């Protein structure tokens, strides 16, 4: 029993020593933190400028967001696989532009866009090809458009048909 009591006392002394060491470590950390705080004002000025720039960029993006929200009201949505093999009949330097024309004519036929109304351009249903579809067609250059492309055609309540690249 006495040995166990002695062992307990030794363990308590060890614990007290470790507690003192941790307190000393904490004091050193606070000194280091205080030194870092002296450097912070220079960094804060840089970060404040960066934050202001980010806020300006976000404000510009917010102006564009309401337009997208208005166009999100979908009336009709269809997914098509458009064959573009006929673009390869054209001369090499005219294939990608012809592929774009093929996409437009395909969507006009299948989404039933009135061609006469499109010529008038007043309150007409419009066709918009998204940038991602355009990039997919032009990815390998003017001479080698894809043989087929999978797209998602979305018609909003204003009659504007937008063609997006289908996921997956």
- pLDDT tens-digit profile of 15-60? 665 666 666 566 555 555 555 555 545 455 567 777 777 677 766 6
Give the helix/strand (H/E) hosting 83: strand 74-83
The token pair at 53 is: 């720039």
**CA torsion through residues 72, 78, 81, 84, sign:** negative
71 pLDDT band, cuts 50/70/90, is very low
159 pLDDT band, cuts 50/70/90, is confident
Complete DSSP assignment for 100-159: HHHHHHHHHHHTT--HHHHHH-SS---EEE-HHHHHHHHTT-SS---SEEEEEEEEETTS
């Amino acid at each position: 029993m006495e040995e166990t009591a002695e062992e307990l006392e030794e363990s308590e002394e060890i614990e007290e020593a470790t507690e003192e060491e941790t307190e000393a470590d904490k004091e050193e950390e606070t000194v280091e933190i205080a030194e870092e705080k002296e450097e912070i004002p220079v960094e804060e000025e840089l970060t404040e400028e960066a934050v202001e720039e980010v806020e300006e960029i976000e404000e510009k993006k917010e102006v564009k967001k309401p337009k997208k929200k208005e166009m999100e009201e979908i009336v009709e949505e269809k997914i098509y696989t458009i064959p573009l093999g006929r673009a390869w009949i054209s001369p090499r330097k005219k294939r990608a532009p012809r592929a774009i024309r093929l996409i437009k004519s395909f969507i006009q036929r299948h989404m039933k866009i009135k061609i006469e109304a499109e010529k008038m351009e007043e309150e007409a249903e419009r066709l918009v090809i998204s940038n991602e579809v355009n990039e997919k067609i032009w990815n390998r250059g003017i001479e080698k458009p894809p043989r087929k492309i999978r797209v998602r055609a979305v018609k909003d309540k204003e009659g504007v048909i937008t063609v997006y690249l289908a996921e997956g």
